[in-house]
Structure 1
């Protein structure tokens, strides 16, 4: 496993709940070269006195070099953890959506708030509709397949599309490619209710057509 050692005094942000570890806060990264170059690989984060601080996704390509998965030493970063977090986020947000409004655009996962830093997921159309995912960080990119598998199971929605923000992905050292991850691609134009307003939208890009 990779080991990130934080500079003395820089651990305060982590202890105060900041989920991001900037490159400037890192003293050294220990581990095999191929692991250090693997975007999103899990690292143990420790203080300068070698006390456990967190487990985080490490990204050598980003100024945000670490994104915290957990502050608990007894919580492994694995498929089960990813599944739990997707399940909890979807259950929490779908519980607040009127079932009678299939046109509502619903945010199902919101990055750090759901313990999935860099991941944004929106859905429209319920079980017969579409999910649009943005993997904006190395950690969630690394766990993309189990994230999509968990989303398919928890929402019963068969259609998952990946939307990419070129500048964000480049800053993370990630390739830029929007594509279908499961099922069918959303149509170019859908009537979607967002912020109480019904409007035609291309949910693949977020573009709202003029009325």
Structure 2
């Protein structure tokens, strides 16, 4: 196995079991490992520190896997990590109210670059690192043995794969092709999931707990669900007795699927309007027309993919939330989210404070939203805590 030598003084993060080693921390590579090959990371004196995936095209040159030199990182190692991750989610699915969740969450489950989502009897994977790409056959085999899925679909269409020297892909890996709409349940609500054409792996199961909680505030209220996608917050609000719900998303496919989901659940007795539009433009239109709401959900895409984009993203978050606050009736609720890992909660609170000042509003933070337990945060990898949100009362 090829040795990768750390520069002197760069051991601290490795000793603390952070899974990333950046290229600038490497002194020397003793050989020419292929991208995705498992290497030995050693300190400046040549002493073993960890095993990890190597990639010379990525800023993260080594993604660490195992810190015990006596433990072989082989097929059995990968199978064991998959088994542990799947077993840790079993209770989420046990009630029968939910049959979709995240089974494997990358570094948090010690499999850096692997996302695996369960949609009823189908699995969708995202493979984001060359090391996981090499290990994929044994991972697929283990998932088949554990779960016997009807299909395993590869939704590795993220542009970030280019940083690892990988091309994007969208293809069937095992089983028979999934239907155009896979029917799943979350919190007792039925959704049609388009795995092949949907965003990410097909559905955002990271908002499961937050959808249920926010819906408890929706009874008798006029709700606006922005960046609604296929209707997670919309459907929960309709079930809990909202007076009306307006959903806004720029994707025609998302709006079409949302309307189908409303029909699937027989939620047609409540006023619902679905608008295909750019959210920022639509919010300004609502303001011009004098529309007001009691509950507003703002769940935008990732504005800050990296720390270098944080200033620009902060301005975008502030502008979005400023207009959202202006559209609320006095004492109304704003549920606002950021899925940008680079945006920490304290910065997010500051952005909302600025938005409140610009909007001429008073704001209370009454609840902090988080990602659910199937998206765990590893103690040595705080970067895994990407989803954050605040429930705000606005006057």
After TM superposition, is the score higher than 0.5?
Answer: yes
Flag the structure with larger Rg.
2
1:99-151 residue CA offsets vs partner (Å, 9 max, x unmatched): 524x63211111111110110000121xxx11101111111111010010011
- Structure 2 counterpart SS, 1:77: coil
Query: How far apart are 1:197 and its partner, in Å?
Result: 5.5
Q: 1:34-183 to 2 correspondence within 5 Å?
A: 36=33, 38-101=34-97, 104-125=99-120, 129-183=121-175
Where structure 1 has 5 or more consecutive residues not aligned to the other structure, the ranges are: none
Query: How far apart are 1:69 and its partner, in Å?
Result: 1.0
Query: How far apart are 1:177 and its partner, in Å?
Result: 1.4
Match of 2:21 in 1: 21
1:44-81 residue CA offsets vs partner (Å, 9 max, x unmatched): 00000111110001011211111111011111110010
Structure richer in helix, relative to its length: 2
Aligned residues: 203
Query: How far apart are 1:196 and its partner, in Å?
Result: 7.0
1:139-173 residue CA offsets vs partner (Å, 9 max, x unmatched): 11110100100110111214111001331111111
Where structure 2 has 5 or more consecutive residues not aligned to the other structure, the ranges are: 204-229, 231-253, 259-395
Match of 2:4 in 1: 4
When residues 119 and 61 of structure 1 are mapped into structure 2, their CA distance, relative to the original with a 3 A threshold, is same
- Structure 2 counterpart SS, 1:108: strand
Q: Which one scores higher on RCO, CA 8 angstroms, separation ≥ 6?
A: 1
Query: How far apart are 1:98 and its partner, in Å?
Result: 2.8
Match of 2:281 in 1: none
TM-score (norm 2): 0.49
Is residue 4–residue 28 contact of structure 2 (8 Å, CA) maintained in 1? yes
Is residue 133–residue 161 contact of structure 1 (8 Å, CA) maintained in 2? yes
